[in-house]
């Protein structure tokens, strides 16, 4: 039965957040004149006498309407009224949808693309035009973009898809809606499909906003378009709209304009696999994934300011000359990361040692010759299997020979390794692996089982050969031994270039969701060279790495490498005897430990035998990074390593070595007298090639100052170095924030998020993290200096500074970890008095706990955000439980 025609109309007055002055009806002539409802900021801009930079053409999906873009119009007008460059926003209701005409016709995808073209002709949108689409409106907007390249300035998209992978079912909610018994009932006769879509907002939509979305769909006749839209989803190649979808998907690959993808990964319909497909087609896109956001991302996130700011940056930057980028590595002959493996292919000396791996009580010693051959064979086997340059390979392998071989094999053929260590925890690891959208997974059995159970993307390769009964349910298609056999006589592809992407390395997640950090081959090579020069690491070095990612650099450095027997997800499980065994296995001269590992090593030192203590004397250099280390703890470690020089370099996943200091330097460094800011942990002078500047804090605790090298100025630490990361993976906004206000000198600069200062001797002091700066009525307070003073109080093991109340009038709370504490409690009078005296600042309360909360990976960094939430709850009358 053909639905009746229903004329277009203006929305009723009073719809929440919608300016009725932006609504208009537009009739498009031709053989069949039709009338559209359009939200348009153009007439209002003309009244203001503002000439827009161009037009943003916003296309909604199903079952929304142009109301989805109301904030785009508000931002268009707000920027005009503020005297900023702005864009006209045109947001039509697609025909059969919203307040546009119900023509009674069935409209396929090709019809909708052609309809939109006729409307833009009638509106005389000659360009420049930026398309913005969501849901199936994203496909329609891309169809317009493909058909109008002469008018197109940029493409912007929210969650959408232009391709359905062969053999992969369409999303479950759409499969259900397409069932004949469900389709009409859920989409037309009732509001079930509409209600389900609106319920996807995170957080839930306000009642009046839900009512506005529902307003144009009152009655089955007005909902016929919702049914048509769902029915028009191409489920396979036989569908009437499949050819048009294929045409658009192919055309997208030839678009040569800036593109921005804003994505809600919690979308049950258009998930990350569709984002990955769009990035394959538009690989130069700027991307930002908003963790926690879902299908209605335009409601979940303030997208409008982001789009306008991006246009101001990208449209200008593509039309203006830019400085040549700084080289990613030092000038000179390039040495790829696998060079040492080639040079030592006939060397039977030990390259790495696996200590007590599961099922094998004796250490496994792998010579350079075997490691070199294994890397070459696996690399050739991977390439023969189909792994290509630029493919992403997620490594879910414990530290050891298999991980090392897989890593260097991937690097050699140009595959991008995705490294997110198990210390992130299952939830963090899932977010990281899904977000990186790996094409392949190389894993041991536990990692592959997790990948299967949690739906992690990627074709799967096992580290060992599984029987078919196990390989099939895990989805394993090959194993490393099989690949090594297949690659023995196979040719290797050309080496990847220095500026090719090499790795996605995930941060610790200690200050928010873990972020994927992008490194090119040249940047990894520069990092290797900087470490080698700074600490004298070469082919004679024995290296023990108590932090798994550091162990992976051993073969590139030419060092004999061992990872001590420990739970890599919990550094505090490392014991003194395990360190001694690892040192002995490679005659170690360099030792790398995390702060949490150091604490347990010195705590278990009494278990060492005299022979083990003597063996530790071979260590000449000991390094610790990841969190501040108290000098007293370093003194205890120094007693175990009598010949070692102890260093505490400062760095981050984004740049591993920025500054360095040894224990003597720490002992001689004196903090400044200011109780509010200053003080902290001295991390030394910048390493060669590194420059450090400080963006000063203002009275509100924001890093508002121009980055400079002035001494004794507290602010956000800003760094540059040849081995600094390229950027963040699919986190456009994080990239922008990290580069906001940095020097415009052609070098890559990075805002670290750490707060600190330079002293008169050029040494850097760390005072905490920017999110942990408290802002009291008297101004900002940085936490580390206060915590250090609190830790001088007798009986205090560690201290954390919490801030409660509104920013600007925050109150400070000292939370003390004490051996005497059996549960969380208010400190007794003597301890509270001593703490207030030591702090040198007013404290609203002093609390004691058995253990302070720390981050997952390092087990060292105090989780001050969590601590502040806990203190606020406790002091508001909540339960006094462990934070």
428-453 pLDDT per residue, tens: 888 888 888 899 999 999 999 999 99
Alpha-carbon span 307 to 738, nearest angstrom: 18
For 857, the token pair is 């990976």
Confidence of residue 330 (pLDDT cuts 50, 70, 90): very low
Using alpha carbons only, give the angle 97, 102, 105 rounded to the nearest 5 degrees. 105
Confidence of residue 326 (pLDDT cuts 50, 70, 90): very low
How confident is the model at residue 166, as a pLDDT?
64
Task: Provide the pairing of β-strand 645-647 with 621-624.
Answer: parallel
How confident is the model at residue 168, as a pLDDT?
67
pLDDT over 50 at 324, yes or no: no
Confidence of residue 671 (pLDDT cuts 50, 70, 90): confident
Residue 842: exposure state from Cβ atoms within 10 A (0-12, 13-18, ≥19): exposed
How confident is the model at residue 322, as a pLDDT?
39
pLDDT over 70 at 317, yes or no: no
Alpha-carbon span 437 to 276, nearest angstrom: 6
How confident is the model at residue 329, as a pLDDT?
43
pLDDT over 60 at 483, yes or no: yes
Confidence of residue 398 (pLDDT cuts 50, 70, 90): confident
Mean pLDDT of 30-36: 90
Q: What is the pLDDT of residues 516-529, one digit of tens each?
A: 999 999 999 999 99
The per-residue pLDDT of the chain, averaged, comes to 91
Q: What is the pLDDT of residues 126-167, one digit of tens each?
A: 989 999 999 999 999 999 999 999 999 999 999 999 987 666
Q: What is the pLDDT of residues 752-790, one digit of tens each?
A: 999 999 999 999 999 999 999 999 999 999 999 999 999
Domains and CATH numbers, the chain: 20-166+238-317 (3.40.50.1820), 339-521 (3.40.50.12780), 656-722+753-771 (2.30.38), 773-875 (3.30.300.30)
How confident is the model at residue 697, as a pLDDT?
96
For 527, the token pair is 């990092």
How confident is the model at residue 512, as a pLDDT?
65
Confidence of residue 569 (pLDDT cuts 50, 70, 90): low
Mean pLDDT of 668-682: 83
Q: Give the pTM.
A: 0.87
pLDDT over 90 at 178, yes or no: no
Mean pLDDT of 646-663: 93
* Start-to-end C-alpha separation, the chain: 63
Q: Identify the residue with better confidence: 545 or 508.
A: 545
Alpha-carbon span 662 to 635, nearest angstrom: 12
Residue 265: name the closest of 275, 251, 254, 257 by CA. Answer: 275
Confidence of residue 233 (pLDDT cuts 50, 70, 90): confident
Helices (H), 521-619: 521-535, 548-551, 554-557, 576-586, 595-603, 610-615
pLDDT over 60 at 321, yes or no: no
Q: Identify the residue with better confidence: 568 or 720.
A: 720
pLDDT over 70 at 360, yes or no: no
Mean pLDDT of 266-283: 90
Alpha-carbon span 515 to 512, nearest angstrom: 9
Q: Distances from the Cα of 574 to the Cαs of 3, 167, 381, 596, 618, in angstroms? A: 72, 46, 36, 9, 19
Residue 545: name the closest of 506, 594, 510, 605 by CA. Answer: 594
Confidence of residue 548 (pLDDT cuts 50, 70, 90): low
């Amino acid at each position: 039965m053909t639905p009746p025609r229903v004329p277009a109309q203006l929305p009723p007055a009073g719809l929440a957040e919608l300016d009725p002055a932006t609504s208009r009806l537009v009739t498009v002539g031709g053989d069949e004149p039709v009338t559209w409802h359009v939200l348009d900021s153009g007439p209002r801009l003309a009244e203001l006498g503002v000439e827009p930079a161009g037009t943003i053409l916003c296309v909604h999906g199903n079952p929304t309407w142009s109301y989805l873009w109301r904030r785009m119009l508000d931002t268009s007008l707000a920027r005009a009224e503020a005297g900023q460059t702005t864009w006209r926003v045109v947001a039509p209701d697609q025909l059969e949808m919203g307040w546009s005409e119900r023509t009674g016709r069935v409209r396929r995808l090709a019809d909708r693309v052609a309809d939109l073209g006729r409307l833009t002709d009638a509106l005389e949108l000659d360009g420049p035009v930026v398309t913005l689409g969501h849901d199936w409106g994203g496909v329609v907007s891309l169809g317009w973009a493909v058909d109008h390249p002469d008018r197109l300035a940029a493409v912007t998209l929210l969650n959408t898809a232009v391709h359905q992978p062969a053999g992969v079912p369409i999303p479950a909610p759409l499969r259900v809606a397409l069932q004949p018994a469900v389709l009409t009932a859920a989409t037309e006769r009732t509001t079930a499909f509409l209600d389900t879509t609106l319920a996807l907002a995170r957080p839930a939509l306000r009642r009046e906003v839900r009512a506005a979305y529902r307003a144009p769909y009152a009655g089955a006749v007005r909902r016929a378009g919702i049914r048509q839209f769902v029915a028009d989803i191409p489920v396979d190649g036989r569908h009437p709209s499949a050819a048009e979808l294929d045409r658009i998907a192919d055309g997208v690959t030839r678009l040569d304009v800036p593109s921005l993808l804003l994505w809600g990964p919690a979308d049950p319909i258009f998930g990350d696999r569709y984002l990955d497909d769009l990035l394959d087609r538009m690989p130069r896109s700027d991307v930002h994934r908003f963790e926690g956001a879902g299908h209605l991302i335009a409601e979940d996130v303030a997208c409008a300011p982001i789009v306008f700011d991006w246009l101001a940056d990208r449209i200008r930057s593509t039309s203006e000359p830019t400085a040549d980028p700084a080289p990613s590595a030092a000038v000179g002959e390039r040495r790829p990361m696998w060079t040492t493996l080639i040079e030592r292919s006939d060397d039977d000396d030990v390259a790495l040692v696996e200590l007590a791996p599961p099922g094998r009580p004796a250490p496994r010693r792998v010579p350079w010759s075997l490691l070199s051959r294994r890397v070459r064979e696996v690399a050739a086997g991977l390439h023969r299997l189909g792994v290509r340059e630029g493919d992403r390979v997620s490594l879910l392998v414990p530290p050891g020979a298999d991980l090392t071989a897989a890593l260097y094999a991937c690097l050699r053929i140009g595959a991008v390794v995705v490294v997110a260590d198990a210390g992130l925890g299952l939830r963090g690891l899932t977010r990281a692996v899904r977000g990186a959208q790996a094409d392949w997974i190389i894993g041991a059995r536990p990692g592959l089982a997790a990948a299967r159970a949690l739906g992690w993307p990627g074709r799967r390769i096992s580290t060992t050969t599984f029987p078919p009964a196990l390989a099939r349910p895990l989805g394993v298609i090959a194993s490393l031994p099989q690949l090594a056999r297949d690659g023995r006589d196979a040719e290797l592809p050309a080496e990847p270039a220095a500026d090719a992407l090499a790795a996605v390395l995930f941060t610790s997640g200690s200050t928010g969701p873990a972020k994927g950090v992008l490194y090119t081959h040249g940047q990894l090579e520069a990092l290797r060279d900087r470490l080698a020069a700074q600490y004298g690491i070469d082919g004679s070095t024995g290296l023990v790495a108590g932090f798994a990612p550091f162990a992976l650099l051993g073969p590139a450095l030419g060092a004999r490498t061992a990872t001590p027997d420990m739970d890599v997800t919990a550094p505090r499980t490392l014991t003194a005897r395990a360190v001694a065994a690892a040192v002995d296995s490679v005659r170690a001269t360099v030792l790398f430990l995390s702060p949490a590992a150091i604490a347990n090593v010195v705590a278990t030192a009494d278990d060492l035998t005299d022979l083990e203590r003597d063996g530790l004397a071979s260590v000449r250099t000991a390094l610790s990074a990841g969190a501040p280390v108290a000098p007293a703890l370093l003194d205890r470690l120094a007693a175990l390593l009598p010949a070692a020089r102890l260093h505490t370099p400062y760095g981050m996943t984004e740049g591993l070595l920025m500054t360095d200091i040894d224990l003597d330097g720490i002992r001689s460094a004196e903090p400044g007298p200011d109780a509010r800011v200053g003080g902290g942990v001295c991390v030394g002078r910048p390493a060669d090639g590194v420059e450090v500047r400080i963006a000063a804090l203002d009275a509100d605790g924001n890093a508002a100052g121009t980055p400079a090298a002035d001494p004794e100025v507290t602010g956000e630490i800003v760094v540059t170095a040849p081995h600094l990361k390229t950027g963040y993976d699919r986190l456009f906004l994080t990239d922008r924030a990290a580069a906001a206000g940095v020097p415009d000198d052609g070098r890559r600069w990075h805002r670290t998020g750490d707060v600190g200062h330079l002293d008169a001797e050029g040494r850097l002091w760390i005072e905490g993290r920017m999110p942990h700066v408290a802002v009291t009525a008297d101004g900002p307070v940085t936490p580390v200096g206060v915590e250090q003073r609190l830790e001088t109080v007798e009986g205090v093991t560690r201290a954390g500074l919490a801030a409660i109340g509104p920013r600007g009038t925050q109150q400070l709370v000292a939370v003390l970890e004490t051996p005497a504490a059996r549960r969380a409690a208010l400190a007794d009078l003597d301890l509270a008095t001593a703490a207030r005296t030591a702090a040198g600042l007013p404290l609203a309360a002093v609390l004691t706990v058995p253990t302070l909360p720390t981050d997952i990976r390092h087990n060292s960094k105090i989780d001050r955000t969590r601590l502040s939430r806990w203190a606020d709850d406790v002091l508001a009358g909540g339960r006094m439980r462990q934070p």
